[in-house]
Amino acid sequence: MSGELAPEAETKSRANALYAQALISLAGPDSDSAKALEQLRQVVKLDPRFGDAQVKIASILLQTGQVESAFEQLQAAVVSNPDSAAIESMLGYTQRLRSQNDDALRLCTQALTRDPTQAASMRVLLEIAGDQDDLSGAVIHIEDILKNGNKVPASTWLTLARLYVEVARSESHALSGDVVLRTLLPIYQEAVAKGPPDVERLTLLAEAYQDLGRKQEALKTLREASELEPSSVDIILHCARLELDMGQKAVALKDYRLAYELNPNMSGLREMLGRLYLDNDKFSDAIGLLQDALAEQPDDPGLEADLGVAYEGAHQHAKAQTWFDRSFASPTCPPEAYLKLAVFQLGNQQVKEAGKTLATARGRFPQSAKILFYQAIQDRYAKKYTEALACLNAMRTLASGSETDVFNPSYYLETALTMDLAKKEDQIEPLLREGLGKYPENSDLMNELAYSWADHGTHLSEALALSEHAGRLDPDNGAIQDTWGWVYFKMGKANDALPYLQRAAVMTNNDAVVLQHVGDAFLKLGHRREAIAAWRRALEKDPGNHDLTTRITAALAPANHAESRSALHP
């Protein structure tokens, strides 16, 4: 057998060698596109079916502004390579540059159908659809092509997501973040479904869920990612932050502790874990961590105040006072140091002590709107509602500079609560409308306004729409589910109300108010026994609630009366 190659094989071998030389000519800082172009043309001359070389020639011509030359070259290449999706895709891209959009759409759709990995075709379809304000339509069209393809890899779906974001967020389109996220979500879901799951795809999907407010699904997805990479501190912390946001403090604490064990030197993690221990009333555990943090950051008045709270919680009052004195004596002591002590005192029903702390803070920081806000909360705790409202109103003239963020949703929610307690219900609606004007997508403000309307039996259609919107934004919020059901109840639709109210009871760990609503719905439906059972569970949560006692007594009266009649007239 001869050692020489057959003529055809030798030609292909020379073409491959020349192609490799062309790639070398294009690589590095001394790139020579003219030389590479000549070498690539020799490749095509040797082997006209060398598709990669054809595409590379067109790419160089387009990069140097020779659009018509690229078009002519690709037309010839298509004749030699009629089955090449890559050449067809490049020709479609070139037609897009030549403003021949109809032909570009045809060519790129054909190329993508043949080979779903053709990213250039995806970009062309997205850009043309964007020009026609139908970007979502292009995404659906591409998704259909990918779903009909054979064994389309997950990377292709991620490519679609990346290209969509680039086009959607370009200056010519600039779609809203919510629209972008809702379009991305099914793309990421498809990517995760392809092949074995991996951390990158799961993390992208989790972030999309989270940004859309679907926290429970985000957390579930992140936990799947954590199972694949259990030592990833970033994923564990991401889970912990979500758990905190969802009120799952004990679970979050466990994850923060795990993250700390894996990387105790991570910046800020020691302080975060120490403060989380404080939030969970684990004061002894907090003390050790906060002392270590202070050893690394001595004379930090914020940490000193935290340590004071930890000692106070551990009933080591002398040590607590020492750390508070150090914190408050610091020339760099921020208002937040006083607020940490005041919040601790309020949380432990030390209302008078909190008042003294805040009075001292106001003396030192008379222009602090933040301190005035907590003074209003302290006044509310002390049932001094007029004074609380005066503080909240005074904040409007004080907040400036870095404190303008005090007029956040919490300000409006606190003011609405205080107005309700002060029997100034007529002022609540304008206040909440103002808040929603600033924070139109805040589910808590939506819920507060919807509940206020429902409780007063007004604007019930608007209340229902607002509850539905809030529920879509935050589906795991029990208070929102309760409002949603309560609106239905007030509309006379107890049958529709009950599932929402029962769901809310589970989500809120049988909150007394929610259980009262559940009982009201049962009674309205004629289920007196179930209503009484719900109210009794509520009374266990709130033993001093006379309204519940009255409801139970009234519901039992017909049964007692029936028993009496039965005894007299057997």
| Interatomic CA distance for residues 486 and 517, integer angstroms | 7
According to the model, what pLDDT value does residue 49 have? 87
For the CA atoms of the chain, what is the radius of gyration? 33
- Residue whose entry in the numeric block shows the structure tokens 């629209």: 179
pLDDT band at 568 (very low <50, low <70, confident <90, very high): very low
| Interatomic CA distance for residues 110 and 38, integer angstroms | 30
pLDDT band at 43 (very low <50, low <70, confident <90, very high): confident
Return the exposure string of 33-46: e unless at least 16 CB atoms fall within 10 Å of the residue's CB, then b.
beebbebbebbbeb
According to the model, what pLDDT value does residue 399 have? 66
| Interatomic CA distance for residues 502 and 487, integer angstroms | 14
Please state the separation of Cα 425 from the chain's center in Å.
33
| Interatomic CA distance for residues 260 and 205, integer angstroms | 26
Q: What is the pLDDT of residues 458-489, one digit of tens each?
A: 999 999 999 999 999 888 899 999 999 999 99
- DSSP character string of 97-133: HTT-HHHHHHHHHHHHHH-TT-HHHHHHHHHHHHHTT
Round the average pLDDT of the chain to a whole number and report it.
90
The closest of 266, 270, 328 to 299, measured between CA atoms, is: 328
| Interatomic CA distance for residues 195 and 155, integer angstroms | 10
Q: What is the mean pLDDT of residues 282-310?
A: 93
pLDDT band at 164 (very low <50, low <70, confident <90, very high): very high
Residue 258: CA count within 13 A, CB half-sphere: 18
Query: Is the separation of the CB atoms in 161 and 191 below 8 Å?
Result: yes
Is the pLDDT confidence value at 443 over 90?
yes
Is the pLDDT confidence value at 495 over 50?
yes
- Residue whose entry in the numeric block shows the structure tokens 């590379």: 56
Write the DSSP symbol of residue 403: G
The closest of 52, 13, 55, 20 to 36, measured between CA atoms, is: 20
Is the pLDDT confidence value at 177 over 90?
no
Cβ burial, residue 461 (10 Å; 0-12/13-18/19+): exposed
Write the DSSP symbol of residue 5: P
Least confident of 30-44, 209-223, 258-272, 344-358: 30-44
Query: Is the separation of the CB atoms in 548 and 539 below 8 Å?
Result: yes
Please state the separation of Cα 442 from the chain's center in Å.
13
Write the DSSP symbol of residue 569: -
According to the model, what pLDDT value does residue 564 have? 40
Cβ burial, residue 313 (10 Å; 0-12/13-18/19+): buried
What residue type is 220 in one-letter code?
A: K
The closest of 504, 502, 496, 450 to 477, measured between CA atoms, is: 504
Is the pLDDT confidence value at 92 over 70?
yes
Q: What is the mean pLDDT of residues 185-197?
A: 92
- DSSP character string of 215-261: HHHHHHHHHHHHHHSTT-HHHHHHHHHHHHHTT-HHHHHHHHHHHHH
- Which residues, 6 or more positions from 433, have their beta carbon under 8 angstroms from its beta carbon? 449
According to the model, what pLDDT value does residue 296 have? 87
- Token reading at 549: 């006692």
Least confident of 12-16, 306-310, 338-342, 390-394: 12-16
Q: What is the mean pLDDT of residues 211-220?
A: 90
Q: Give 27 or 146, the one with higher predicted confidence.
A: 146
Query: Is the separation of the CB atoms in 265 and 253 below 8 Å?
Result: no
pLDDT band at 153 (very low <50, low <70, confident <90, very high): very high
Q: How far is CA 166 from CA 159, 171, 183, in A?
A: 11, 10, 13
According to the model, what pLDDT value does residue 566 have? 37
Write the DSSP symbol of residue 402: G
Query: Is the separation of the CB atoms in 80 and 91 below 8 Å?
Result: no
Write the DSSP symbol of residue 27: S
Domain 334-400 has CATH 1.25.40.10: yes
Cβ burial, residue 351 (10 Å; 0-12/13-18/19+): middle
Q: Where are the domains of the chain?
A: 334-400
Other Cβ atoms closer than 10 A to 29: 4
Other Cβ atoms closer than 10 A to 383: 11
Q: Give 546 or 565, the one with higher predicted confidence.
A: 546
Q: Please tell me the pTM assigned to this model.
A: 0.70
According to the model, what pLDDT value does residue 5 have? 52
- pLDDT above 90 covers a percentage of the chain that reads 72
Is the pLDDT confidence value at 406 over 90?
no
According to the model, what pLDDT value does residue 113 have? 94
| Interatomic CA distance for residues 374 and 418, integer angstroms | 13
Is the pLDDT confidence value at 565 over 50?
no
Residue 106: CA count within 13 A, CB half-sphere: 5
pLDDT band at 409 (very low <50, low <70, confident <90, very high): very high
Q: What is the pLDDT of residues 527-537, one digit of tens each?
A: 999 999 999 99
